[in-house]
Amino acid sequence: DGGITQSPKYLFRKEGQNVTLSCEQNLNHDAMYWYRQDPGQGLRLIYYSQIVNDFQKGDIAEGYSVSREKKESFPLTVTSAQKNPTAFYLCASILKGHQNTEAFFGQGTRLTVV
Amino acid sequence: GEDVEQSLFLSVREGDSSVINCTYTDSSSTYLYWYKQEPGAGLQLLTYIFSNMDMKQDQRLTVLLNKKDKHLSLRIADTQSGDSAIYFCAEKGAGNMLTFGGGTRLMVKP
C-alpha cells in the first residue's frame, strides 16, 4: 500500500547528540515537509523540499538539517545546536502540480531529550 | 506573512452539532483543508474545499467558505465520542506551501 512512513515512533536523545529522523514515501510525491508540534500547539514548518537535491528553510530551521538525495526520502537531523528538541515531529508529502492536492502525513516521531 | 487562526477549544454534547471556525489571511489560497489529529498520531485529511467554492458537504461534514471574510468553518453533525480530537485548518498558497492553524481541541461529552 502507498503511504508515508516515519521511523522511529519514539526516539531518545542525550544532550549534545545528533539524531536523525527518517521519512520515506512511496506515493511518488514531489514535495516533502517537516513540521514540529509542541504540546497544545499547532504545526511549525522546519524544512521543505519541492524537488530532489533541493530544500528550503521553513520558519524554525535553526538547529536542524535535511537532505533530499532521493525522491522517496527526506531525513531530518536534529543537531546539538537545537536547544529545545523535545517535541513531536511530523513529515508530510504532496503531489506537486496536481489539482486535487492532499498532504499525506506520517504517524510522527516523538523525540525526547534525556 | 500568512496567518491561520483557530479557537483553542470546543466542547459539545454527544449528538449535537460541532462548528469549528478558522480565519486566514492569504487571499491567494487555492485550497483549504481540515485535518483531524488523534492523540499521538499524524494528521488525517478530513475534507478540503477549493477556493472558488462556498460550500462542500461530505456525509456528516459540512465546510463553509466565506472568501470575502477569509473565514472557513467545519460543521460536524451528530457529533460522536470518536470525533474527539484536535482539528487543524490549513491553507495552501503559492508554491504548494501549507500553513496550519494552531488546532482546535474538540471534546465530546456524553
Using one digit for the tens of pLDDT, what is the confidence trace for B69-110? 999 999 999 999 999 999 999 988 776 778 899 999 999 999
Residues of A in contact with B8 (CB under 8 A): 40
pLDDT band of A98, cuts 50, 70, 90: low
Buried b / exposed e across A3-21, counting CB within 10 Å, b at 16+?
Answer: ebebeeeebebeeeeebeb
CA distance A60 to chain B (A): 14
pLDDT tens digits along A50-70 = 999 999 999 999 999 999 999
A41 CA: distance to closest CA in chain B (Å): 6
Chain A interface, best mutation among B29, B50, B53, B97, by max A CB count within 10 A: B97
pLDDT value at A40 more than 80 = no
Per-residue CA distances from B73 to B7, B36, B105 (Å)? 11, 14, 14
β-pairing, A10-13 vs A109-113, is parallel
Joined grid coordinates for residue B81:
465520542
d(CA B53, CA B90): 16
